[in-house]
A = this chain, B = another copy of it.
């Protein structure tokens, strides 16, 4: 199997981009990635997106974006795995390069959630659940995760304050990220006193809705070395699934897809959780952060609160979690979130994260979830 590198990347701020169409948004990110390296051409475009059909009345965005970028007749298609679309697109792009079929693959994702021509964003996001068994009966993403959070609080005697403190940390991190949607500090009380969305999840336990695009160019490792000094190697990558319907799970508090994907990716990279210096994890809600940190193996089940309060998730701790601010404060343009994460880890390992920089980061991990844990895509990068 050909070794693969992230050659370059570009992203837009996560925001309400009401003046930019889908193609303009992705175009802005892709042009940054394309203009920062000198390469002969793009062979394929593999782009992640979830909601364009519902909210922009646009499918076929592989062709749309290839046309806009002037890279026809390159191969192009879209990959969708709900909120995991960005991570899945990067996995698809990885196999495209590793196979030897394509040398330069433009990937990443784009999502516009805040000003659709039609559709309802909450309902559209609900289509990531099992529509016939969850959505049609009134379950939304937040209500499903509220069930999980209640269960966690009961099983592990955890208070809302613990979850609030994670949100506080994410907002603090985001103040150093020029691409973050919510780059301002909040207090524990901000979270506790914010509107209750679905008990016990309050507004500030939730990732915001936003628009954004992140683009990456992937190529063979040997080729990357001849082009730039700031490439990073993809040393582990894997996807895994769990039941889509949460009622079918034996344990609400384990993300089986994250456990399985992490196991495969760690084995491929020949590392363990203790080797990870920095990670961008999928904190759709503060409860999702707890499960993710535990299921990636950064601490034992139920010990998230302890690790957080002891500073284990910050600089100087066991692993720096979400220096970007995470979904909570960088933002969560769903189908492109996984692409932001991988670009952010690449930026960290290349030493180009400016104020967000984690010192001496050598190995980093991105974890991107589709649905309520129905799938997870884990990517592990290493500094050359």
Q: Report the Cα distance A189→B225, complex, angstroms.
A: 65
How far is A92 from B78 in the complex, measured between Cα atoms in Å?
Answer: 10
Question: In the complex the two chains form, is A1's CB within 8 Å of B60's CB?
Answer: no
Q: Does A88 sit within 8 A of B, measured CB to CB?
A: yes
In the complex, the answer to whether B73 meets A240 with C-beta atoms within 8 Å is yes
Complexed CA–CA distance, A374 and B62 (Å): 9
Contact between B62 and A81 (Cβ–Cβ < 8 Å)? yes
For A98, the chain B residues whose CB sits under 8 A away are: 95, 99-101
Contact (Cβ within 8 A) B81 A77: yes
Q: Are B101 and A81 in contact, CB atoms less than 8 angstroms apart?
A: no
Most chain-B Cβ atoms within 10 A of its Cβ — which of A91, A129, A239, A248? A239
- Please state if B77 and A80 are interface contacts (CB–CB under 8 Å): yes
Please tell me if A132 contacts chain B, counting CB pairs below 8 Å.
Answer: yes
Q: A63-B370, A96-B95 are in contact. Are A240 and B74 (CB under 8 A)?
A: yes
Residues of B within 8 A of A371 (CB): 60, 63
Report the bound CA distance from A58 to B126 in whole Å. Answer: 8
Residue in B64, B72, B81, B130 whose beta carbon sits within 8 Å of that of A76 in the complex: B81
- Flag whether A320 is at the interface (Cβ < 8 A): no
A82 in contact (CB, < 8 A) = yes
What separation, in Å, do the CA atoms of A374 and B57 have in the docked complex? 17
Q: State in angstroms the CA–CA spacing of A66 and B244 once bound together.
A: 9
A contacts with B: majority SS = mixed
For residue A56, CB closer than 8 A to chain B, the reply is: yes
Chain B neighbourhood of A370, CB < 8 A: 60, 62-63
Residue contact B80 to A92, C-beta cutoff 8 Å? no
Contact across chains for A241 and B95 when beta carbons are under 8 A apart: no
Q: Is the CB of A79 within 8 A of B82?
A: no
Instruction: Flag whether A181 is at the interface (Cβ < 8 A).
Output: no
- Nearest Cβ in chain B — how far from A59, in angstroms? 4
User: When the two chains form their complex, are residues A67 and B99 in contact, meaning their CB atoms are under 8 A apart?
Assistant: no
CA distance in complex: A34, B244 (Å) = 21
Instruction: Determine if B239 and A374 form an interchain contact, defined as CB atoms under 8 angstroms apart.
Output: no
**A21 contacts the other chain (Cβ, under 8 Å)?**
yes
| Inter-chain contacts of A77 with B (CB < 8 A) | 79-81, 84-85, 88, 91-92, 239, 375
A242: contacting residue among B21, B73, B78, B260, CB under 8 A: B73
How many whole Å from A96's CB to the nearest CB in chain B? 5
Taking A99-B95, A375-B62 as contacts, is the C-beta distance between A241 and B1 under 8 angstroms?
A: no
Chain B residues near A248 (CB-CB < 8 A): 67
Q: A151 to B59: give the CA distance in the assembly, Å.
A: 27
A-B contact pairs, 9 of them (CB 8 A): A50-B59, A62-B370, A64-B374, A73-B242, A76-B239, A76-B375, A77-B92, A95-B98, A99-B100
Please list the 10 inter-chain residue pairs (A to B) with the smallest Cβ-Cβ separation, ordered nearest first: A75-B239, A63-B374, A98-B99, A73-B260, A60-B82, A99-B99, A1-B100, A77-B88, A73-B240, A59-B127
Given contacts A74-B240, A95-B95, list 9 more A-B pairs with CB under 8 A: A53-B124, A54-B54, A56-B131, A64-B374, A67-B130, A75-B238, A79-B80, A95-B99, A98-B99
